[in-house]
Each structure stands twice: as C-alpha cells, then as structure tokens.
Amino acid sequence: MGFDANSLVLIVVLALVFWTVGRKYEELRTRASRELRLSTCLDEAADSGPLAPGAHPEMHDAAPPCAVAGNVTGDLRRIAAMDGSFDADRFLQGARLVYEAIVLAFAKGDRELLADLLTADVYRTFVHAIALREARQHRVSTRFVCLNDARIEEAAVIDGQVQIVVTFDSEIVAATRDAANAVVDGNPAAVTAMADRWTFVKGLRANGLWRLAATETSRGEPEQPATPQSAETCG
C-alpha cells in the first residue's frame, strides 16, 4: 500500500504535533513535581544559608503579583508570621502551574504525578475514576486554552495545618472517546469555561509538598474554539 505526497505530509505533521504535545506535558510534569515542594522563595534558598539584608533568593520565573480576596490579606500575613518560609506570591505561582499539571495528569492517567500532588483521600478518588475509565476503554484528551484567573479566596491554620483555597477560572478543550473513537463526553471542537475551587494543605513550618485536599468544579456551556494559547493568562 503506497502513500501519496499529501498523505506523507499529513503523517509528518501529526507526528510533530504529538511529539510537541508530549514534550510540553513532560516539561510541565517535571516543573510541577518540584514547584510546590517547598513553594516559597525562602525555602529554596535554605541550603545556601541565611539571606543578606535586602537580598532576594533566585526564582525560576517571575511571579505575578499575588491575587487575593480582600478579606484574606490579614490571614496570609498571620500565616507568614507563624511560618517565616511562607510566601503568598510564590505559592500562587506554583498553584497555577500545579493546577494545569493535575488536570492533565488526570486526563492522562498519570498516577505517579498525582500521588505526589494529592492527599491520600483525593488520590483514591482520582485513581478510582481513572480505573473506571480504563475499564470502559475510554480515553480523555484535554487541552488548556488559557488560565484566565487564579485567586486566593481563603487561608487558615487548622490543627497545625495551613489550608489555602484557590479559585481558578480557565478555558479548556476536553473530550472523552470510547474504544471505537466515538466521543462520549465533552466536545473536541469547542472551548469550555471551567471554574474550580481547590484547597491546598501543608503542615505549618513543615518542609514538603503542598497537596490538593479538596476540589469543587463547575462547567460552563461549550463555546466556539479560541486561538490556542499557553495556560498562563488570557488577555
């Protein structure tokens, strides 16, 4: 069986697309695995000793100003006073990255990454859903169009554990297909607005990962596709 020139071009283009998407996810996966491990500028500099007055530890990316609900600023200051390593700007920067990583990891069934970023209860819920999907021979394709907003809505210390609630407003393209490649959920040709409210937790003054402890999601009506962007910020 032969291929004409157009077919060969199409095969090459598709191969490049899958390679690019796969590489992007692997890069995101690597960054997400480390981003919330300490999630503060001060913790990342701990190995090099105390900072000189006025000095700032090196950061991988410039963090956007921290977006918080008006009544949360005082709570964040109290957390920082109790835990000198906490930095709200860096936390929110990491949360934005990890949000995308978790959504894509769930779609891909990446249990290893999910185990690093979820609490035990949430992990069991996610893995159960993945197992049901696999038993039905369903597969999910998810693409971020953009992340419109990420905002800290609540912050508290409860029983020695810091709990921070972040809301994410994003736009994604997602679809679930069965073994025959028929779409059984979602729409691969439409953008859907998502509103997520996620709770992250970490022990007070404890070195280690922030983990996702609770999720709430609402989904808007699918719209016409938008121009693909990275999931940094629309606008």
71-106, pLDDT tens digit by residue? 789 999 999 999 888 899 989 988 999 999 999 999
Backbone torsion region of residue 151, taken as left when φ is above 0, otherwise alpha when ψ lies between -120 and 50, otherwise beta: beta
**Residue 188 near residue 196, CB atoms below 8 Å:** no
Residue in 35, 37, 34, 49 with CA at minimum distance from that of residue 206: 37
Question: What is the rounded CA–CA span in Å between residue 41 and residue 89?
Answer: 9
Tell the residue number behind the tokens 């999630």, with chain if given. 39
Complete DSSP assignment for 100-129 = HHHHHHHHHT-HHHHHHHB-HHHHHHHHHH
The pLDDT tens digits of the residues spanning 130-176 come to 999 999 999 999 998 999 999 999 999 999 899 999 999 999 999 99
pLDDT tens column, 181-209? 999 999 999 999 999 999 999 988 776 67
- For residue 96, count other CB atoms closer than 10 A to its CB: 23
pLDDT value of residue 224 = 56
Nearest to 231 by CA among 81, 43, 100, 111: 100
**Average pLDDT rounded to a whole number, residues 7-22:** 39
Closest CA to 197 of 152, 167, 172: 167
Structure tokens at 43: 């913790």
Tell me which H or E stretch contains 227: none
Mean pLDDT, rounded, for 120-131 = 97
Percentage with pLDDT > 70 across the chain: 63
Strand partners of residue 158 = 161
pTM above 0.85, yes or no: no
Pair of tokens at residue 7: 């077919």
